[in-house]
């Protein structure tokens, strides 16, 4: 069989897109938009169509963060993921964009890739509670026995839920503390005046700046985020 005949009927080409606004239809329209761009019909027209399609989607256009803003978030909580304590790699929207969360610093905490991906578009309460309850019944569980967790063996659903509730409150407390740190005025002002104001580029990413300025950030922290505003801006 010739190689090209295998690809002649791909599963996606046999489907007919429906105008129900579902993900498949959106994908189809997006492909149309991309082919518009490929044909260079009109860049403005392509952009209008793309923006229209992306509205309400999880992958809608996000705000671009300046380097100092990214560093304000990434280095909070001692540069560790709020959820697991490993080194932070990304900024996580506490209330996901897809759930109406704001694209603001007051909704961002440092997280690692694994936690950010696992949390996805869940709220912290849904994610953390689900995480604790997940896999608790293997095989022959009943609501009153059969659950297992790190601390309580053979617990019922109620005990397990109470434990999940406690753990969730603990993680919410951590999030609150880190958000307070990020929004702290002196610290935020220090980052504004001491870290690059530019948007990240391919040769100057936020991650590179984080390593480059690590000792300066350490010193700023040790000195209690001294007022670094230019003289004419001080009271
Ligand atoms: Zn993590």
Query: What's the CA-to-centroid distance between 116 and ligand 1, angstroms?
Result: 7
The residue among 48 and 191 whose pLDDT is bigger is: 191
- Cα(225) to centroid of ligand 1, in Å? 26
**What is the 57 CA–ligand 1 centroid distance (Å)?**
25
Cα 204 from Cα 66, distance rounded (Å)? 11
Cβ-based burial of 14 (10 A; exposed 0-12, middle 13-18, buried ≥19): exposed
Where do the domains of the chain lie?
A: 19-61, 67-233
Task: Report DSSP state, residue 203.
Answer: T
Greater pLDDT, 67 or 10: 67
The DSSP code for 9 is S
Those residues whose C-beta lies under 8 Å from the C-beta of residue 209, and which sit 6 or more positions away, are 67, 71, 195, 196, 200
CA distance 30 to 49: 8
Distance 2 CA to ligand 1 centre (A): 48
Q: Separation of 213 CA from ligand 1 center, angstroms?
A: 23
What pLDDT score does 114 carry? 96
| Interval between CA 128 and ligand 1 midpoint (Å) | 12
Distance from the CA of 199 to the center of ligand 1, in angstroms? 25
pLDDT, tens only, 5-57: 333 344 444 444 454 556 666 666 666 666 655 555 566 666 676 666 666 55
Q: From ligand 1's centre to the CA of 184, what distance in Å?
A: 23
Percent of the chain clearing pLDDT 70 (strictly above): 68
Q: What is the pLDDT of residues 141-166, one digit of tens each?
A: 777 776 666 566 667 788 888 888 99
* DSSP string covering 63-114: PPPPHHHHHHHHTSGGGB-TTT-SBP-EEEESS-GGGT--SSGGGEEEE-HH
Distance from the alpha carbon of residue 1 to the mean position of ligand 1, in angstroms: 49
Task: Evaluate if pTM is beyond 0.85.
Answer: no
Question: Considering only 12-21, 83-92, 95-104, 143-152, which range has the smallest mean pLDDT?
Answer: 12-21
Q: What is the pLDDT of residue 39?
A: 58
């Amino acid at each position: 069989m010739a190689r090209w005949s295998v690809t002649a009927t791909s599963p996606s080409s046999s489907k007919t897109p429906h105008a129900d606004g579902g993900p498949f239809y959106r994908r189809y329209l997006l492909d149309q938009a991309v082919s518009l761009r490929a044909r260079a019909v009109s860049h403005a027209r392509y952009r209008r169509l793309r923006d229209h399609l992306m509205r309400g989607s999880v992958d809608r256009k996000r705000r671009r963060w300046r380097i100092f803003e990214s560093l304000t978030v990434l280095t909070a909580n001692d540069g560790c993921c709020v959820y697991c304590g490993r080194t932070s790699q990304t900024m996580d929207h506490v209330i996901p964009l897809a759930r109406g969360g704001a694209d603001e610093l007051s909704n961002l905490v440092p997280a690692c890739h694994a936690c950010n991906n696992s949390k996805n578009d869940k709220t912290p309460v849904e994610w953390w509670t689900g995480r604790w309850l997940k896999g608790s019944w293997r095989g022959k569980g009943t609501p009153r026995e059969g659950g297992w967790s790190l601390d309580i063996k053979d617990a019922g659903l109620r005990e397990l839920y109470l434990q999940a509730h406690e753990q969730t409150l603990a993680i919410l407390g951590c999030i609150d503390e880190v958000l307070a740190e990020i929004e702290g005025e002196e610290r935020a002002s220090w980052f504004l005046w001491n870290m690059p104001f530019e948007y990240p580029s391919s040769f100057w990413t936020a991650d590179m700046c984080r390593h480059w300025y690590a000792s300066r950030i350490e010193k700023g922290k040790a000195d209690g985020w001294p007022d670094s505003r230019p003289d004419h801006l001080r009271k």
